[in-house]
A and B are shown apart, each in its own frame.
Chain A
């Protein structure tokens, strides 16, 4: 019994370590922004803490009145995942808006550039409105 839980402990620690290394590599390669890595590093730290502190999960479960300790893991994990997914949707919406604005600006600049190349004068009203906007 005791040896089995040690095996699990080692597996958890190893898994956490590999996960951490993966995250670090992604950051170094520039494929993951630091601000998003914080949450993953935090998750790994929690994982490591519970891998070492074996009685921890049971004690917290008892404290919260949860009879079956693993269900507490599921509850916490699913909640964290949902929150993070919503966060990603928000980020995605913001990116979409920014892409729209950028495309607008780019299309207008392309037009202005081709006007200049064709030797057309830039409309005076254009400049006047631009100044007014500022």
Chain B
């Protein structure tokens, strides 16, 4: 069973979708092409986070599985729905890919490779390791640097792209995420969570694109709120899990 899972793992690509009618079809089509090209046992699950545009109609016509959330939960809640689905349905690996086309499907294999080889429990696709492709705005990079320092202080690991949503989880990680996953801006917070659970976090270089449609959830006006909320979230996840740390390592 275990060897079979390693050689031919069942993979679920979770694509959160909130008002991405312009980009979602391309994202799913590209993933399906990669699936055929590498002959992967792969399913795509689009999680429609109560979109107000015609995303849902588009999704129904695509070659993919989908969850239709009855209430808008935000990116964290939508992703957790996908991860819960992956865990309950016995998938070995779940990969998050954004629905706006920022994460090119042909980079998928770079994230899956180390995961299938068992190099880590969490594989994060990072923009900053080889500095290729879309590098995000200067202001955002300052924020990301700050999170790297904060993460290093708390869990002694340098994660260069802690806000990257291009990441893969194995079953060990899925089991943890199944019970708790941060709500609002989950990416940096979950890294601290995984660090305290002693999961092996591996970053691999990927190139990202600029979003292909839709609007980012983070604009300059919300940047300050974002930094505050995520910092608080990180600190409280740390405090909450630190005392349990000894039990968690098993």
* Residues of chain A whose beta carbon lies under 8 Å from any beta carbon of chain B: 99-100, 103-104, 106-108, 110-111, 123, 125-126, 128-130, 133
Contacts and interface: CB of A to CB of B under 8 A. Distances in A.
Contacts of B77: 100, 103-104
A110 B68 CA distance: 8
Contacts, number: 51
Contact of B65 (A111, A126, A129, A130): A111
14 contacts: A103-B69, A103-B81, A104-B80, A106-B70, A107-B47, A107-B68, A107-B69, A108-B81, A108-B85, A111-B66, A125-B90, A126-B89, A129-B87, A129-B90
A23 B12 CA distance: 52
Interface of B: 47, 65-71, 73, 77, 80-81, 84-85, 87-90, 183
A120 to B, nearest CB: 10
A121 B69 CA distance: 22
Contacts of B65: 111
Given A100-B77, A100-B183, A107 B89 contact: no
- SS class of chain A's interface: helix, strand, loop or mixed? helix
Report which residue of A107, A111, A129, A133 has the largest number of chain B beta carbons within 10 angstroms of its beta carbon.
A107
Given A103-B81, A107-B81, A108-B67, A126 B73 contact: no
A97 to B, nearest CB: 9
Nearest to B67: A107
B88 A129 contact: yes
Nearest to B87: A129
